[in-house]
Amino acid sequence: MTRRFWVFIEQDHGEMHPVAAELLGVANCLVSEVADELKASGEEAIVEGILVGHNVDNVAKEALMYGAERIYQVDDPAFEHYLNRPYTEALTHLVEKHKPEVFLIGATTLGRDLAGAVATSVKTGLTADCTKLEMGPFRKIEKKLLLATRPAFGGNVIATIVCKDHTPQMATVRPRVFETPVRNPKAKGEIIQESFEVTPEMMAAQLVEFITDQTASLNLEYAEVIVSGGKGLGNPKGFDLIKELADELGGVVGSSRAAVDGGWIDYAHQVGQTGKHVRPKLYVACGISGAIQHKVGMQDSDYILAINTDPQAPIFEVSTLGVVGDLYDVIPEMIKQLRAQKGASA
């Protein structure tokens, strides 16, 4: 019997979503964690990608390069745009046909409701927004189970959840929680076309119009890059430097409450408990000590760079990377090197 570790390969108009690659990496780790059981039982384990869409052959090839050994591809015009019902029915059919042991799906807006529907349709357990996944023993159950760890009650409690005697054990994971595995362009693997008959009843909901959101005004809450200034700037003029770095990174200017208190910048820029909650991809905190009420407003950012003269500043507790130094030196140097890089690659 083959132990199948599945990953849903999410794609958007033929573009593979990076979270799929991250989860293929995780799936291969899980397989390595059951190597001892495989040797003992003589069973085999395989990481397989599940791809649903229309004209998505290149996505299948791409997935093989990130560690999928086999792809089941359902390619049909009905699946060109994501709709919950047809996608759920197709996945349910594949699960019932191949009986995977573990099924990982990216916790994107698409993945979150697709996983909920599939888990219910297949009558199995699902753990959402996991921050850690591993195969491990649980009580007296003979085979290792998927131990899925996730935050609950607004991040105040961390729980490890198991799905016993139901398969597949399903879990969703937010993008960028796990590293992206190395892309191996020479990877080989099998792509199996699976057919699935979509009934009209499944197509009760249709996409009528799609409005891309480039024009979303760069307001703080939805900005992708935020460069924030705090008390460490010393005076209002400091925000000119912050603005320059923000423009260089294509971001917007934020601030801590202390800067707003000092009257250096308008209240609309304030990030924090009594200001705005933000989740940008990149948050650069300059001269911000990082008192708790500021951290609450920005700790969900994906990547946090903090620049502060004080190595003990609390901001370093939540940042991904810290530079200990005077921002009036560090920022101009950073702008210079960014421009140099742009110059080189332009």
Partner 1 sequence: MEKNTQKRKLPQVYIDDMLMSLKYFTDEQELHLAIIDPAVCQTCEDQPCIQFCPVGAYRAQDGRTVQIAVQSCVECGTCRVLCPYLNVSWKNPRGGFGVSYKFG
Partner 2 sequence: MIHLLVSVKQVPDTTNIRIDPETGSMIRKGVPAILNPYDAHAVASAAEWKKKLGGKLTVVTMGPPAAEEALQECIEMGADRAVLISDRAFAGSDTLATSYVLAEAIRKIDQEDHVDLVFFGKQAIDGDTAQVGPGVAIRLGLPLVTYAVDIQEINEEENFALIVRKTESGKEIIKTSLPAALTAEKAIADIPYAALPDLITSLKYKPEVWSAQEPVAYDVDQIGLGGSPTMVAKSGSPEAHEPAETINVEENGLAGAVETALGKMLSNTSVAALLEDQQ
217 contacts partner 2 (rule: CB under 8 A):
no
User: Which residue shows structure tokens 């990174």?
Assistant: 249
134 contacts partner 2 (rule: CB under 8 A):
no
Task: Determine whether 132 is exposed, middle or buried from the number of CB atoms within 10 Å of its CB (0-12, 13-18, 19+).
Answer: middle
| CA-closest candidate to residue 118, choices 97, 93, 141, 144 | 93
Question: Per CB under 8 A, which region of 43-51, 62-70, 120-128, 187-195 contacts partner 2?
Answer: 120-128
Q: Nearest distance from residue 256's CB to partner 2, in Å?
A: 18
Please list every residue from 191 through 220 that binds partner 1, using CB under 8 A: none
* Opening angle at CA 130, ends 129 and 133, nearest 5: 155
Please list every residue from 273 through 302 that binds partner 1, using CB under 8 A: 273-274, 291-294, 296
Pairing state of beta strands 225-229 and 190-193? unpaired
Query: Exactly one of 44, 58, 158, 221 binds partner 2 (CB under 8 A); which one?
Result: 158
257 contacts partner 1 (rule: CB under 8 A):
yes
Question: Per CB under 8 A, which region of 69-77, 89-97, 134-142, 268-276 contacts partner 1?
Answer: 268-276
154 contacts partner 1 (rule: CB under 8 A):
no
337 contacts partner 1 (rule: CB under 8 A):
no
At a CB cut-off of 8 Å and minimum separation 6, what does 23 contact?
A: 7, 8, 104, 105, 106, 173, 178
319 contacts partner 2 (rule: CB under 8 A):
yes
189 contacts partner 1 (rule: CB under 8 A):
no
Tell me the CA distances in angstroms from 66 to 12, 120, 191, 328, one per residue in order. Answer: 18, 29, 14, 42
Which H or E run includes 129? strand 126-130
| Contact partner, 272, from partner 2, partner 1, none, Cβ < 5-8 Å per class | partner 1
Question: Per CB under 8 A, which region of 67-75, 123-131, 173-181, 258-266 contacts partner 1?
Answer: 258-266
Query: Exactly one of 159, 182, 268, 292 binds partner 2 (CB under 8 A); which one?
Result: 159
Contact letters (x/-) for partner 2, 70-109, by CB under 8 A?
-----------x-xxx--x-------------------xx
Which H or E run includes 284? strand 282-286
Query: Exactly one of 1, 186, 206, 237 binds partner 2 (CB under 8 A); which one?
Result: 206
- Between CA 121 and CA 123 the distance in angstroms is 5
3-state SS, residue 87:
helix
Pairing state of beta strands 252-255 and 282-286? unpaired
Which residues make up the interface to partner 1 (CB under 8 A)? Answer: 236, 257, 260-261, 263-264, 266-267, 272-274, 291-294, 296
